[in-house]
Amino acid sequence: MYYAAGYYLVIPKHEWGTVNGHRFRARTWSVSTYISHVYPGTWGFDWEYSRRQLPENFTPTDQELTALHAWIGEAFAQGQYAWPGFFSTHEKAVEFKSRFLHALPQAKLLGIFLHESHCATAVAAVEPHTGPDWPNLATLLQLRAPEPETGLTIGFDLLGLFDFGGYEPFSYHVVEQEYQKTFGVVLNEYGLFATASDCQRVAAYTDTIANEPAVWLPFKTKLFGPEF
């Protein structure tokens, strides 16, 4: 069984870049701020806010921003929005989009889900570093909220989990060609892995390339919308 690991409102950046002389356009759909614009990011917390962090296409008025910060603060206090920035339920994410992102209809709702066999590992990585009243990934996973039947599964994202609950995505390191050449693993049209087992096959290699103190786990990724 898979359990909810967060709901995110994102617009994939899909930027052009060059790696080892190879020109490419990123196509990955990810909840990571490295890969997508996330609404809100940490700037949703008034104590973390900096106008420099706002995506260029999001230009709220001062009044709208004050209302957003108040909404996030209340949701955080109720455990419905968690650190470092995700919604605990599909419904709360939809409510936020309806209220604050009406000017960004292109924002998509992604949900990530972790298999029960990995939950203890994720909780152990995060829980010792946060207070008991600080809603985060460990808090949500311990609720054992089941994956909903709705939504379109678009693949699996290999995420390096940091002790504060944030993620570093495999796609940040642009190793798709190495995956295919060394492991025979081909990413799908969303720039994600087709199966969780493909994630696990390349996890150790990705950890070596990333050289970060992270725990790499496969998260099922779903796209939600009126059509699903």
* pLDDT, tens digit, 9 for 90 and up, residues 178-194: 999 999 999 999 999 99
Band (228; pLDDT cuts 50, 70, 90)? very low
Residue 206's H or E segment, with its range, is: helix 196-210
Band (218; pLDDT cuts 50, 70, 90)? very high
Distance CA 68, CA 45 (A): 9
Mean pLDDT of 28-45: 92
Residue 86 Rama label (left phi>0; alpha psi -120 to 50; beta): beta
Three-class SS state of 110 = strand
Residue 66's H or E segment, with its range, is: helix 62-77
pLDDT at residue 185, rounded to an integer:
96
pLDDT at residue 101, rounded to an integer:
95
Q: What is the pTM of this model?
A: 0.93
Say which range, 160-164, 195-199, 202-206, has the weakest mean pLDDT. 160-164
